[in-house]
Each structure stands twice: as C-alpha cells, then as structure tokens.
C-alpha cells in the first residue's frame, strides 16, 4: 500500500535549512492498522502530509497504491486525495455551515457523483458510524465524539484505499476517545487500511504495529516483525 524509500523534506527557517524528514523508509501493507508515533517536532506531521498527498517530498521515492507520487500537479494530487485517501483530523475539520450529511457528501460532490447516489452513499456510511439519526444536524449541534464520527464517515464516503487519521482522539475525552478507537478497530477488521498519527503511546499501543519517529528518522520497528528501517 505504502512504500517510502529515502524520503527527505527540508524547511528553511531563516538562514538555516532544517530537515523535517531525513531519509525515511516505511512500508505499510494493505489492510494494516499502523500508528506513527513521535513527539511534537519529530517530523510526524510532515510525514503525514506526504503520506496524505498534501505535500510532496524533496527527495526519495514514495509509492502509494502502486503509484509513484512525484512531480504531480496540485490537481492530480487533489484527485488522489479525493478518491484514495480519507482524512480524519484532530479538530474534526467539518464545515460548520453544512449538515452532517452534506459534510459526508462533500468528497463525493468533488467526484461529480449524482445527488441520488450521494444520498445513498452518505446514508450508508453514516449508518456505519451510528449517526444516521443525526444526519440533518450541523456540527455545532453535535458532541465532539459525534463530530469525529461524522468526520470518519466523510473519510469512508469515497471508499478510499487508505484512512489517514491525525490525532483523532486528541480533542476528545478518554471515554469518547475509546469509542472512536473502537470504531477504527471495527473498520480495520472490515478490511480498511488505516494509518494513525499520534504522540500518545497509549493510543499507539492499541494498534497492531507502531512506527516510531524521532528527529525526522524512523527509530525502530515495532509490532509484529515486519522490517521497518
């Protein structure tokens, strides 16, 4: 699913050039549930941006779903994000003026799907996260946990190859956080590939495999024997 070799990303801070990622090699297989864990400043956000095709690496090879992501135009990246990646963010990032259903339909709108198909699909995924009865509500009328479930439904809507979650429990209390994590496990069991980015070792421990990142490098393999350097 994901194969990264020698990924490097640099930022200019004043006169200094800082390498946020300094030669990262990662391999994630289809249907895996992996967490990427590291403290703030470790480069995990940069890594997530590259995995999520929100940004491109300066050096190295990134194969996503068999496709090499390099020299893509902004619109081509947008198309990949739209069809193949479902994002779940720490701040939920729902559009406040749209209802839960309209939020879920948004990626499908950009695919040019017909209104009738969108309706059907949004109902399917909202049922999957257990919020079918709240679909007419605006995000402000929902609790944090419900908002995050709407965001997960939105991530699922386009039936993507990868679900990329950035600190999905970071803004939730531990109880609702646990509920959200349970939902991720269910999705994993249903065959979805999930990459979860976190700084919380407790969360990382719940995933079958954790990739540790520190100062822009992958530290050690974790989980079940898959060699990650």
Partner 1 sequence: MQTISMAFKAIWGNKARSFLTMLGVIIGVISVTVLVAIGQGTTASVTESISSMGTNLLTVNIQTRRVGFGGRNNRSGGGKGTVILRLDEILALEEDETIDAVSPTVSGSLTVKAGNTNTSASVMGVLPAYQHIINQGVQAGRYIIDADVENRSAVCVIGTELAQTLFGNTNVVGNSVHVNGRKFRIVGVLESKGTSMSGSSDNTIVIPFTLAQRMLESTSITSFYLSAVDSASVDAAQTAVERFLYKKYQNESTYSVMNQTQMLETISETTGTMSLMLGGIAGISLLVGGIGIMNIMLVSVTERTREIGIRKAIGAKRSNILMQFLIEAVVISGLGGVIGLAGGYGLMRVLEQFLDMPLEMSMGVAQLAIGFSMGVGVIFGLYPADKASKLKPIDALHYS
Q: List contacts with partner 1 (CB under 8 A).
A: 49, 52, 54-55, 74-75, 78-79, 81-83, 87, 89, 93-95, 97, 106-107, 109-111, 115, 154, 158
Q: Give the 3-state secondary structure of the chain.
A: CEEEEEEEEEEEECCEEEEEEEEEEEEECCCCEEEEECCCCCCHHHHHHHHCCCCCCCEEEEEECCEECCCCCHHHHHHHHHHHEEEECCCCCCCCCCCHHHHHHHHHHHHCCCHHHHHHHHHHHHHHCCCHHHCCCCHHHCCHHHHHHHHHHHHHHCCCCEEEEECCCCCCCHHHHHHHHHHHHHHHHCCCEEEEEECCHHHHHCCCEEEEEECCEECCCCCCCCCCC
User: Please, which residues bridge with residue 93 across strands?
Assistant: none
Q: Which is nearer to partner 1, 14 or 96 (CB)?
A: 96
Q: How far is the CB of 198 from partner 1 (least distance, A)?
A: 18
Q: How far apart are CA 104 and CA 109, in angstroms?
A: 10
Q: How far is the CB of 142 from partner 1 (least distance, A)?
A: 16
Q: Which is nearer to partner 1, 78 or 178 (CB)?
A: 78
Burial of 167 (0-12, 13-18, 19+ CB in 10 A): buried
Q: Which is nearer to partner 1, 106 or 222 (CB)?
A: 106
Q: Which is nearer to partner 1, 8 or 138 (CB)?
A: 138
Q: Which is nearer to partner 1, 197 or 222 (CB)?
A: 197
Q: How far is the CB of 28 from partner 1 (least distance, A)?
A: 20
Q: Which is nearer to partner 1, 55 or 179 (CB)?
A: 55
Q: How far is the CB of 125 from partner 1 (least distance, A)?
A: 14
Cβ atoms of residues 55 and 45 within 8 Å:
no
Q: Which is nearer to partner 1, 49 or 193 (CB)?
A: 49
Q: How far is the CB of 209 from partner 1 (least distance, A)?
A: 25
Q: How far is the CB of 68 from partner 1 (least distance, A)?
A: 20
Q: How far is the CB of 74 from partner 1 (least distance, A)?
A: 6
């Amino acid at each position: 699913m994901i194969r990264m070799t020698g990924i490097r990303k640099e930022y200019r801070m004043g006169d200094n050039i800082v390498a946020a990622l300094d030669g990262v090699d990662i391999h994630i297989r289809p249907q895996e549930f992996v967490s990427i864990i590291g403290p703030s400043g470790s480069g995990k956000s940069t890594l997530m941006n590259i995995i999520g095709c929100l940004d491109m690496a300066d050096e190295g090879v990134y194969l996503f779903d068999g496709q090499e992501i390099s020299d893509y135009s902004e619109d081509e990246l947008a198309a990949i994000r739209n069809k193949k990646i479902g994002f779940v963010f720490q701040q939920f990032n729902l559009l406040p003026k749209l209802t839960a259903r309209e939020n879920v339909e948004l990626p499908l709108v950009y695919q040019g799907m017909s209104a009738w198909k969108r309706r059907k699909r949004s109902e399917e995924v909202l049922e999957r996260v257990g919020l079918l009865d709240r679909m007419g509500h605006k995000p402000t009328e929902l609790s944090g946990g419900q908002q995050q479930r709407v965001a997960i439904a939105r991530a699922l809507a386009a039936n993507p190859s990868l679900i990329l979650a950035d600190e999905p429990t970071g803004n939730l209390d531990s109880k609702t956080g646990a509920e959200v994590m349970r939902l991720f496990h269910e999705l994993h069991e249903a065959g979805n590939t999930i990459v979860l980015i976190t700084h919380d070792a407790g969360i990382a421990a719940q995933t079958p495999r954790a990739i540790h990142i520190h100062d822009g490098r992958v530290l050690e393999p974790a989980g079940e024997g898959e060699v990650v350097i």
